[in-house]
Amino acid sequence: MSGGFFWLSAFYLVYCARPEDFVHVLALVPMAKITGIGAFLAFLFMGGQRKLRDLPREAHYLLALIAVLMLASLTSPIWRGGSVSRTLEFSKVYIAWALTFFLVTDIPKLRRIIFIQAFSVPIICAFAVIKGRSIARLDGVLGGIYSNPNDLAFAIVLSFPFCFMFLLTAKGIRKLFWVVGMLAMAYALVLTASRGGFVTLLVTGVVGLWHFGIKGRRYYLIAITGLVALILLGVAGGPLRTRFATIFTDEADSKQERAALASYEDRKYLMERAIDGIEHYPILGMGTRNFEVYSLNWHEVHMTYLEIAVEGGIVGLFFYLAFFARGFHNLRVLLKRKDLSVEIKLITGALHSSLVGFVVGALFSPEAYEFFPYFSVAYTSALYAIVKRNDLLAAPPSPARIARQSPRERESLEQVPVGR
């Protein structure tokens, strides 16, 4: 258990924090492969003790999505080799997902895993702002999942609710860290001038303020958030305002306006091209990442649902939507509960804010293969399982209840302490 959780934590750290961007010599070490192999071996080891049939329905939907993408890649008429390779790369998310569900068995472990993501993004943002202060939209300042300004903005927004959660529970110097970190995240988001990221932030912020400010009776958060947003938009929001203005006009005078207008027109073309691709490959799609070739200009379609539909077909889109629907199902059950601890309510509110932000932001960004949204669903599944187990521990078991328990529930009740 401890070894598996170590490799899981290492995988999250490598993916979220990208230490090779800070210490370049680490780029010579295949850390992703090392942690991935460690996580895979841990997954095989855990598979001997905890049967795959004990995974929740959302895990099966994710596995089915990967299988559809692999089948689409193998039968693709466009670029089979590259598509299969990229599907295998994406399939690592299933191992991380299953390990998260099996190994995160109490609230402290769940907080620790979420902390890795929440702690990494402010550090990444501060580094990006310092290193890329003279680079337009922070484009290419960092590598990997943060290299594109739109992807960086998306990662920031999805992590914001978790940072808010830790801010509300922190004390002393740790509270100051979260305040400074969230300001760095907000400033980096404005510098990216990502229109989709800003819209996603508005949605995530409204849901988060509903949970943390109104339901949590912290009304001061609403005023502070509004004030900080106005200051940041006034100080550094010029490029962002310019990019939004081009949506409503065909005129472009400055270089920034022409670039923004070209980007807007390019996205319209890519959406039309994606719809054309769905018409030609409706069932299984054209294979993972193959739309970039099909687009004729080597770009992704800036809408996640179209991205999945054109590359995984209608079948892939079905499993994709079903997977995230299960995340909302877990949260809906938890949000109806009135007897949960304050800590669990905070985690539930943060997860709800992040997932609502994702489903809206996915309309404006190509995030089908980024791991952060899948991590969020894994958190909901782990949290739901923890609460269910705690309910079983709190009530005296009857013979009928014991008979209905899954092997995972019986084993977890015997081995794992109650979560806080």
What is the pLDDT confidence band of residue 276, given thresholds at 50, 70 and 90?
A: very high
Q: pLDDT for 198-209, tens place per residue?
A: 888 889 999 999
What percent of the chain shows pLDDT beyond 70? 85
The residue-averaged pLDDT of 188-195 equals 85
Neighbours of 231 (CB within 10 A): 13
Q: pLDDT for 253-266, tens place per residue?
A: 556 656 666 777 88
Beta carbons of 213 and 349 less than 8 angstroms apart = no
Nearby residues of 343 by Cβ (< 8 Å), 6 or more positions away: 107, 169, 420
The residue-averaged pLDDT of 59-77 equals 95
Q: Which of 235, 259, 231 is nearest to 245 (CA)?
A: 259
pLDDT in the model for residue 401: 55
pLDDT in the model for residue 419: 41
- pTM to 2 decimals? 0.88
Q: Which of 352, 341, 338, 418 is nearest to 385 (CA)?
A: 418
What is the pLDDT confidence band of residue 372, given thresholds at 50, 70 and 90?
A: very high
Residue for token pair 């006034």: 234
E strand residue ranges, 46-185? none
